[in-house]
Amino acid sequence: MATGPIFPAAAAARLEDRKLREARNRGKRPQKRGRLMRLLLSAFPLFVIPVGIYCLMAFTTSGDPVAIPGLGEGVFLTEKGSPLLAILSERFFAIPMIGGDIEWVMTKGDALLVLSIAVLFMEILKSTSTGTATIMNHAASMLVFIGCLMLFLLHSNFATSVFFIITVMALLDVLAGVVVTIVSARRDFGVGDGFAG
């Protein structure tokens, strides 16, 4: 019974194994060029990028707490907001909309959140593999989350909604990465069992 069309990934893996065996039998070893760089990139948590950008802004900004206006005049949500809120609420870019004299304005904080969402997506894609580098990535992602949580609780410039959402995304990166890796490993184990019998 041919299993090629039903399980194309398994057939491709068997073909690759056969090619490696044939190369070894002829005395040629497969090239290992770039393997270390791939291992480092897959073990590196990409979530360091948005956290690092926020840290650059936070550690270069100082000042007194700022008042955050509320919905009405003279009403303030808080008068002790993080000094970084002024920078995060600055205009990053604006696009005029088709329906009237309205502009869609994206602030610097919004742009950082969009970058964080894109990085979270890439991290979840990276976690579908089951290897040593993936386990190292999960451990490093856990360290990034712990660092984010400590900064949020202890430093005044990190007490913003933007950084809180980034911290929640760092937690989701850890949890989703572990869950996706476990599900992928179970699927690989199940497919391997199916071919063994």
Contact 123, 177 (CB under 8 A): yes
CB atoms within 10 A of CB 136: 16
Domain range spanning residue 130? Answer: 43-192
Low-confidence ranges of the chain (pLDDT < 70): 1-13, 27-34, 39-40, 69-72, 74-77, 187-197
In a domain, 31, yes or no: no
In a domain, 61, yes or no: yes
Tell me the H-state helices in 60-131.
85-88, 108-126
Report pLDDT for 197: 46
Domain count, the chain: 1
Interacting residues of 139 by C-beta distance below 8 A, sequence separation 6+: none
Q: Which of 110, 150, 151, 120 is nearest to 45 (CA)?
A: 120
